[in-house]
C-alpha cells in the first residue's frame, strides 16, 4: 500500500482576473497559505500556462514547474476538461460549446474538433515535459441528448456513436501512451462516459487501451444515485486521479434526479463544500488506500451555498485529515512465530 498524496487543489474554479488568482505564482502562494501541497492546473487557462509552449519547449515547462515549486508545491496533473469536451460535440450543443474554443473557430464544428484534438496532443507532451504521469479530462459527448430514450433511439445509434468516439480518442490515447501519461476521464453527466457501463462500452471500443483511465469523483455518482463505493471495487485498477468533491441528494415529492430545470441551489441534487454533503469520504479514502492508489487527492470546489475562499480554507485540512498514512507492518506481528517451511509442513501433516 501507498499513502495518498495531497492535499491538492484544482485551480479552475478559483482563477480570476484579480490578484492573487490571475497568475500562477500568486495563486500558488495563495494555495500554499491555505495548506495545500499540490495544484492541478487547467490547461486551457493561459494565465497559468501556455499549453503549446509547454509541449514544444522543455525549458518553458521547467519554468512552469519551477514557479510551482518555488511556492512549495507540486503539480498534481494538468486538466483539459473544456478541451476534451470539444473532441466530441453533438450538433444540438454546437452553439453552447463554441464558447470553449477560440472565436475564430465558432460556427465551424470540424475545425473546432481538430483544434481540440491538437490541444489534447499538446497536453500529453506538456505532461511528459512536466514530469507528470496522469492527466484529467472529459470524453465529450455525441449521445448525451438521447440519455433518456424518448423519442426511442434508432437501432444502432449507440454503437455508431461509441465507434466514432473511440476513433477520435484512439490517436490521443496513443499519444499519451508515447508520453508515459495516463489519460483520466472524469465520469460525468453531460459526457458519453457518465457511469461505469458507458465507460466499459468505450473501453471495449478502444481495445482496453492501457491509458484510457479514470478520474474518480464521487459527487457525480451521488447525484446519479450510483454506488460510489462499489464503483471503486470495480474500477480501482483504472483510477489514476481523484477529485475530492462533496454532494447531496435530497429528493422531494416534487423533484428528483433531473432537478426540474432549477438553479443549483434549488435542485434536489447539488454539490457542496467538503464535509457539508453526504459523501462517505472515510470509506473512500480507506478503499483507495487498500487498493494502493498512487495518485493525488485534489479538492475540486463546487458549492451552491458556501463561498470559494471558505471552501478552500476548510478543504485542505479536511483532505489532510482523511488521508491515511498506511501501515508498514501488520498489527499482529508481535504474535508472529516467524517463517519456517519445515515447521509449516509439519503443521499440515506433510
Task: Please report where in the chains the cell 457539508 appears, as a residue.
Answer: 276
DSSP 8-state code for residue 3: P
- Measure the CA–CA gap between 142 and 123, rounded to whole angstroms: 22
Predicted local distance difference test score (pLDDT) of residue 324: 95
Q: Which CATH superfamily is domain 5-347 in?
A: Divalent-metal-dependent TIM barrel enzymes (3.20.20.150)
Predicted local distance difference test score (pLDDT) of residue 332: 63
Residues 6+ apart with CB under 8 A from 252: 268
- Residue 184 has a CB neighbour count (10 Å cut-off) of 26
Evaluate whether 48 touches 27 at the Cβ level (below 8 Å).
yes
Three-class secondary structure of residue 242 per DSSP: strand
Alpha helices in the chain (DSSP H): 24-34, 51-56, 58-70, 81-85, 94-97, 109-129, 157-178, 196-205, 218-224, 228-235, 281-290, 308-322, 341-347
- Measure the CA–CA gap between 249 and 233, rounded to whole angstroms: 23
- Reading phi first (left if > 0) and then psi (alpha if -120 to 50, else beta), residue 340 is in beta
Q: Which three cell numbers mark 137?
A: 479530462
How big is the CA angle at 101 (ends 214 and 216), to the nearest 5 degrees?
Answer: 15
pLDDT digit string (tens) for the chain, length 350 residues: 889 999 999 999 999 999 999 999 999 999 999 999 999 999 999 999 999 999 999 999 999 999 999 999 999 999 999 999 999 999 999 999 999 999 999 999 999 999 999 999 999 999 999 999 999 999 999 999 999 999 999 999 999 999 999 999 999 999 999 999 999 999 999 999 999 999 999 999 999 999 999 999 999 999 999 999 999 999 999 999 999 999 999 999 999 999 999 999 999 999 999 999 999 999 999 999 999 999 999 999 999 999 999 999 999 999 999 999 988 777 666 567 677 888 888 889 99
- Measure the CA–CA gap between 342 and 317, rounded to whole angstroms: 50
Predicted local distance difference test score (pLDDT) of residue 229: 98
Query: 14: part of which helix (H) or strand (E)?
Result: none
Question: Helix/strand/coil (H, E, C) string of 102-164?
Answer: CHHHCCCHHHHHHHHHHHHHHHHHHHHHCCCCEEEECCCECCHHHCCCCCCCCCCHHHHHHHH
What are the structural domain ranges in the chain? 5-347
pTM assigned to the model: 0.95
How big is the CA angle at 185 (ends 284 and 224), to the nearest 5 degrees?
Answer: 60
How big is the CA angle at 296 (ends 135 and 304), to the nearest 5 degrees?
Answer: 85
Let me know if 323 is exposed, middle or buried by CB neighbors in 10 A (0-12, 13-18, 19+): middle
- Residue 234 has a CB neighbour count (10 Å cut-off) of 13
Amino acid at each position: 500500500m501507498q499513502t495518498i498524496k495531497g492535499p491538492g487543489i484544482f485551480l479552475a474554479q478559483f482563477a480570476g482576473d484579480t490578484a492573487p488568482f490571475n497568475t500562477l505564482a500568486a495563486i500558488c502562494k495563495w494555495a500554499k497559505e491555505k495548506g495545500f501541497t499540490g495544484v492541478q492546473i487547467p490547461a486551457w487557462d493561459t494565465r497559468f500556462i501556455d499549453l503549446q509552449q509547454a509541449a514544444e519547449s522543455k525549458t518553458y515547462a521547467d519554468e512552469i514547474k519551477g514557479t510551482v515549486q518555488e511556492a512549495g508545491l507540486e503539480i498534481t496533473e494538468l486538466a483539459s476538461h473544456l478541451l476534451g469536451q470539444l473532441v466530441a460535440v453533438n450538433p444540438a450543443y454546437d452553439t453552447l460549446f463554441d464558447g470553449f474554443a477560440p472565436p475564430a473557430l465558432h460556427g465551424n464544428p470540424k475545425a473546432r474538433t481538430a483544434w481540440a484534438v491538437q490541444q489534447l496532443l499538446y497536453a500529453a507532451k506538456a505532461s511528459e515535459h512536466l514530469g507528470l504521469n496522469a492527466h484529467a479530462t472529459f470524453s465529450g459527448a455525441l449521445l448525451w441528448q438521447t440519455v433518456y430514450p424518448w423519442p426511442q433511439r434508432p437501432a444502432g445509434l449507440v454503437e455508431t456513436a461509441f465507434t466514432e468516439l473511440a476513433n477520435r480518442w484512439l490517436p490521443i490515447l496513443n499519444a499519451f501512451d508515447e508520453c508515459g501519461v495516463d489519460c483520466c476521464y472524469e465520469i460525468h453527466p453531460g459526457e458519453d462516459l457518465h457511469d461505469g457501463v458507458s465507460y466499459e462500452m468505450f473501453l471495449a471500443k478502444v481495445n482496453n487501451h492501457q491509458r484510457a483511465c479514470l478520474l474518480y469523483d464521487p459527487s457525480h455518482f451521488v447525484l446519479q444515485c450510483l454506488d460510489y463505493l462499489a464503483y471503486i471495487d470495480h474500477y480501482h485498477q483504472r483510477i489514476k486521479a481523484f477529485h475530492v468533491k462533496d454532494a447531496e441528494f435530497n429528493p422531494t415529492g416534487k423533484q428528483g434526479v433531473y432537478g426540474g430545470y432549477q438553479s443549483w441551489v434549488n435542485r434536489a441534487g447539488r454539490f457542496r463544500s467538503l464535509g457539508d454533503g453526504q459523501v462517505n469520504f472515510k470509506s473512500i479514502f480507506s478503499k483507495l488506500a487498500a487498493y494502493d492508489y498512487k495518485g493525488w487527492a485534489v479538492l475540486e470546489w463546487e458549492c451552491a451555498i458556501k463561498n470559494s475562499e471558505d471552501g478552500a480554507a476548510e478543504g485542505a485540512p479536511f483532505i489532510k485529515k482523511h488521508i491515511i498514512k498506511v501501515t508498514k507492518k501488520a498489527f499482529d506481528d508481535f504474535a508472529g512465530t516467524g517463517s519456517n517451511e519445515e515447521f509449516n509442513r509439519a503443521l499440515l501433516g506433510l
